[in-house]
Structure 1
Amino acid sequence: MFISRVLVDQNNRQKLKSLTHLGAYHHWVEQSFPEEVKSGERLRHLWRLDSLGGQEYLLVVSENRPDLDQLAAFGVPGTAEVKDYEPFLASLHDGQRLRFRLTANPTYSVSQSGKARGRVYPHVTAEQQSQWLSARAEKAGFTLSTAGETPSFTIVGRSYPILRRKQGRAVRISRVTYEGRLTVTDIAQFQQTLRSGIGRERAYGMGMMTVIPEA
């Protein structure tokens, strides 16, 4: 696995004109793996947008190494970088306390009569969105412990970016960013969570969790 990032070129209006919805970012990420495009065997790539110090970065987690020239297509020249993710993942262990950041699409499903799949709705309140993450922690290999009445995570961003699907229909996707602390409880499952993400719409900038050890 590899983790990559590039600084989005926010000062280039020509480039930004092409990045008006989540599907455009998805296309950018997909084109960063030209060998997969050529073979027609595209793998799932996790990605998200992070704002740090007033600048916006595109982060990507992938099984294959991206082409840095393609990754820099809409980025500031010279800022695309890639690292082998596996040594970091291998350094994690059960019981470890980590700081995390997650951008996800918190949803729930309501069953429909006569249909195999339920209808999906977004969670809209901060309480619902927080409960959504808490409910998924155990299966994802970690726990979100609390200290007294203070939760170990907070919601730091909520938005509804546009996604234009292939049929041309534009929809708004609920995007929520969480930050906080967690404890690893199942290292194998947790490593898989960092590789493959959490929740729906992972192809469109949702589901990526990143962590750093607590100081």
Structure 2
Amino acid sequence: MFLSKLKIDVTSREFRRDYADVHQMHRTVMTAFPQVEGEQPPRQEHGVLWRLDQSEQGFLLYVQSHVEPDWSGLPKYYLSEPYQVRDLQPLFAAITGGHRFAFRLVANPTRAVKRDEKQQNRRAEQGKRDQPRRVVHRTPEAQINWIIRQGERNGFVIPAGRNGRPDVAPSPAFRMQGKTHVREEAQKLTIDHVRYDGHLIVTDSNLFASAVRNGIGRGKAYGCGLLSLAPAR
């Protein structure tokens, strides 16, 4: 496993294009990885997850992958300084039951809502399957409950902080939009990012290591799911 750190040049015309279209950002990230044979998408085959962190200095792009990337094909002036790539094996060696980490996660916390009859009929007329629509959790309480449920599935718990509340702080990051094409039909993309900063405790090392490798939640092609770990504060 590898983690790349790329400091973005915010004056780059190509970056501004990518920032305006999250699907194009995904395509730019995937230029660092080879094409694959078979039906599995390259992002899944190479285990690619990415996150765009905003700071006072601009943006940092983090990209995690199963294989070492080649960033030489990025547009000229896309980065403001040379990229960095490091091996994550020491991190995985530290994942043991009971270990406490500080973490950051940008996610797209959603819930499924059943469509009403009118919406179902409209989709049937369009030849689309009747699937529940996804609704983003908007309140901090609902967002915290979402990450707690993710922990139950992925081998970790959120401990209580000094105030007795779960030691995690959700905050709206930013909304990314774009367009993708399904069966030659353009579809609008809207991804609402929520950033989680806090602490977790590993309860199942195998489940948790899998979550770190493969990401958490939905929207993994579009800047969500990458779980970053650091020593507990």
Give the TM interval when normalised to the shorter protein.
0.7 to 0.9
Could you say if the C-alpha distance between residues 51 and 7 of structure 1 is closer, same or farther in structure 2, counting changes exceeding 3 Å?
same
Q: Match of 2:224? A: 206
1:161 maps to amino acid: M
Candidates 178, 193, 205, aligned match of 1:175: 193
Matches within 5 A, 1:26-175: 26-33=26-33, 35-36=34-35, 39=37, 42-44=42-44, 45-71=48-74, 75-76=78-79, 78-111=81-114, 117-147=131-161, 148-166=163-181, 167-175=185-193
Percent identity at matched positions?
A: 30
Encode CA deviations 1:52-108: one digit per residue, 9 max, x unaligned. 443311111111111021357563254212111122212221111110000000011
Offset at residue 141 of structure 1 (A): 1.1
C-alpha RMSD over aligned residues: 2.3
After TM superposition, the score normalised by the length of structure 1 is: 0.88
SS of structure 2 residue aligned to 1:171? strand
Candidates 205, 213, 229, aligned match of 1:187: 205
Gaps in structure 1 of 5+ consecutive residues: none
Q: State how far apart, in whole Å, the 1-side matches of 2:169 and 2:210 are.
A: 23
Could you say if the C-alpha distance between residues 73 and 95 of structure 1 is closer, same or farther in structure 2, counting changes exceeding 3 Å?
farther
Residues paired across the two proteins, number? 212
Offset at residue 50 of structure 1 (A): 1.1
Could you say if the C-alpha distance between residues 74 and 109 of structure 1 is closer, same or farther in structure 2, counting changes exceeding 3 Å?
farther
Could you say if the C-alpha distance between residues 59 and 82 of structure 1 is closer, same or farther in structure 2, counting changes exceeding 3 Å?
same
Q: Tell which deviates more after alignment, 194-203 or 46-55.
A: 46-55
Asked whether the equivalents of residues 72 and 79 of structure 1 are also in contact (C-alpha less than 8 Å), the reply is no
1:21 lines up with 2:35 in the alignment: no
SS of structure 1 residue aligned to 2:135? strand
1:4 maps to amino acid: S
Offset at residue 159 of structure 1 (A): 2.7
SS of structure 2 residue aligned to 1:15? helix
Asked whether the equivalents of residues 4 and 83 of structure 1 are also in contact (C-alpha less than 8 Å), the reply is yes
Q: State how far apart, in whole Å, the 1-side matches of 2:52 and 2:70 are.
A: 19
Could you say if the C-alpha distance between residues 75 and 163 of structure 1 is closer, same or farther in structure 2, counting changes exceeding 3 Å?
same
